[in-house]
Amino acid sequence: MNPVPVTIESFGFRHRDDQPVGHALLFDVRGLLPASEAGLPRDTGLDPRVRQQIRQSECAEELVERIAGETAALLAYAQPRGRSVHVLVGGLDGVRGSVAVAEWAGELLRHRLGPAGPAVEVIHRHIAGNVVRP
């Protein structure tokens, strides 16, 4: 049996574009990285400085552990049925916190599943877009 793929997708709630439909786990990380600590306006969750801020923020490690654990549990259900697993990590704009958390969760999940496990793809829906202000 081929392992089913896992997709972890970061996005921004403020964009109000088409939200994914179907079965997915959703994690809301708004507030994990306060705006006063977000760094420079062009920094993203792929930048080492932002990633470090996220890793040091309160409850971040517990949250990422939970994302990886719940994803693995869903995968155990989905794999025998040939279904893929989709995980959504939503932040305010989908540029900093949600991106950093999605990347971290992807790294942890790849490590836990090992090289023979399913492919874990991390995508960022809004990282290249403009920051949306209310």
- Alpha carbons within 13 angstroms on the beta-carbon side of residue 46 total 10
Q: Which residues pair with 113 in a beta bridge?
A: none
- For residue range 83-114, list pLDDT tens digits in order: 889 999 999 889 999 999 999 999 999 999 99
Task: Give percent of the chain with pLDDT exceeding 90.
Answer: 51
- For residue range 109-132, list pLDDT tens digits in order: 999 999 998 999 999 998 986 554
Residue in the block written with tokens 């470090």:
52
